[in-house]
Amino acid sequence: MAEFVACLLIISFLFFLICILRLLNTIWRKPKQLEKHLREQGIAGPSYRLLQGNLKENSTMIEEALSKPMNLTHDIAPRLLPFLCNMIKDYGMTSVQWFGTVPRVNIMAPELVKEILSNRSGDFEKLKPNPHTKLLAGGLAVYQGEKWAEHRRLLTPAFHLEKLKGMLPAHSVSCTELIERWQTLIGSGESYELDVWPELKNFAGDVISRTAFGSSYMEGKQIFEIQSEQIKLHIKADRALYVPGLRFLPTKENKRRRELNKRVRTLLTNMIEKREKGMKEGRDSGAHDLLGLLLEAKRNGRNDYDEEIEITFEDIIGECKLFYFAGSDTTAALLTWTMVVLSMHPSWQNRAREEVLEVFGKRTPDIDGLSRLKIVTMILYEVLRLYPPATILIRHTQKQVKVGKLLLPQGIQVGMPIVLIHRDPRLWGEDAGVFNPERFANGVSKASRQPGAFFPFGWGQRICIGQNFGLMEAKTALAMILQHFGFELSPSYAHAPHVAVTMHPQHGAHIILHRVLSTANRIPGPGW
């Protein structure tokens, strides 16, 4: 018996020792080896710190930057990525910082960014989402490998040109309702001040509800409201060190996360079941929108290319979460920043309005006319350059891989800061920080000194599937707004971009609307 107990104690001790050694390897030995490997290649940065890395400094600098509004300028990178901006000053364009025990190498060269994002060998993958991220969105945003490829092929037909043309009437209806609401607010007066950020979020939510899910905004309104709170909880968790298992603790925030997720699932389940019932009874034609495609594929086990596909109810829930969030949030942000920027640059607002009135007059925009809006397109591209939806793209190395002259080890992050690359004077000239839509006069490919320097929707096979949908929606809405209103910044406007998954105005976007009475209306500004 004594020998058995002794043997058990020895085994327990060895097991404990192995666990300790593995822990030490994870939190110290491996990070220091990676640090040495990167420094030998000239990739410098702050030294690794046990467990936290640079998370604390990063969070502190972001909190300080967000504590007050900034000057009315487009130099927003130091506010959004203050730690990274300081790193580049201290260590150069290619540097490394630490997110807990994992190093992130920051890449600023467009040719390397393109090489990474175009890689089809599985060497680079999106970061595996932590459970908090999965509560907010799923689907294409989190899938990897063959499952991602299957869902991409399944959903692509929903965004073909012919489908987009068919969506334009729904866009126009949502735009008309927005215009009528703003006209009612102005009433008999000539101007009215309002925060356009929640207005445009509501509008974009209405569009995605009508076009992707066949429902009205009111039916999806609760989902958008819940997702707004989920975003705040997601950001808080994302800026802290993630420790597996802590999400199961009965904290106030964890309870709220689970409660919100349950509510979203219930709303989506009811919507999906209602749609399925309509399709079975012949009251719904099926795959004429995104949800219809998903349900048809689930029922038939095949996609539009007649390929076999297995799609579950959970898959549909994940895609719906993603498209409710991404389909409304990014377009609302683009339109909001466009109105802010055109308020700061009234001469460009006037030029855009003249073009819209020349092409459409007071008519509702059509697809052919939208394609002729050169100035409006240039303006939207320039706003996307200065205020991209995502500030940085991140990938994770699955094995040791060579990129350019760099040999990146397995298990590290690669960060590609869009907001900095879009402002790099080496790529865009000395006026890189200036709003100048003329740089896009000859198209995206010739806008910068080096191809690939403009990628607001990502690059390669994982480029945003809904970019054309979003740009058509933004063009339609901006054209109709310009037809009916002039606008300028309110004295109460506080310029405060911040990252809430995408780039939002922290304190809203307070703008004064003016009724456009004739084609001669111009918004006062420099030179007028």
Give 239-276 pLDDT, tens digit per residue: 665 666 666 677 888 888 888 888 888 888 888 888 88
Do 523 and 514 contact (CB within 8 A), yes or no? yes
pLDDT in tens, 146-198: 888 888 888 888 788 788 888 888 889 999 999 999 999 998 888 999 999 99
Please classify residue 366 by burial: count the beta carbons closer than 10 Å to its beta carbon, then call 0-12 exposed, 13-18 middle and 19+ buried.
middle
pLDDT band at 220 (very low <50, low <70, confident <90, very high): confident
Residue 391 pLDDT exceeds 60: yes
pLDDT in tens, 77-117: 999 999 999 999 999 999 999 998 999 999 999 999 999 99
> What pLDDT is attached to residue 519?
47
User: Which helix (H) or strand (E) is 62 found in, with range?
Assistant: helix 55-66
Residue 409 pLDDT exceeds 70: yes
pLDDT in tens, 122-137: 899 887 766 666 666 6
Cβ–Cβ contacts within 10 Å for residue 111, how many?
14
% of the chain residues with pLDDT over 70: 90
pLDDT band at 306 (very low <50, low <70, confident <90, very high): low
Instruction: Give which of 53, 59, 60 is closest to 98, Cα–Cα.
Output: 53
Residue 70 vs residue 6, higher pLDDT: 70
For helices 346-360 and 313-344, angle between their N-to-C axes, nearest 10 degrees: 110
Interstrand relation of 393-397 and 191-195 (parallel, antiparallel or unpaired): unpaired
Average pLDDT over residues 400-415: 94
Q: Can you list the pairs that 161-166 forms with residues at least 24 positions away whose Cβ atoms lie under 8 Å?
A: 161/468, 164/367, 164/468, 164/469, 164/472, 165/367, 166/288
Average pLDDT over residues 202-206: 89
Do 397 and 103 contact (CB within 8 A), yes or no? no
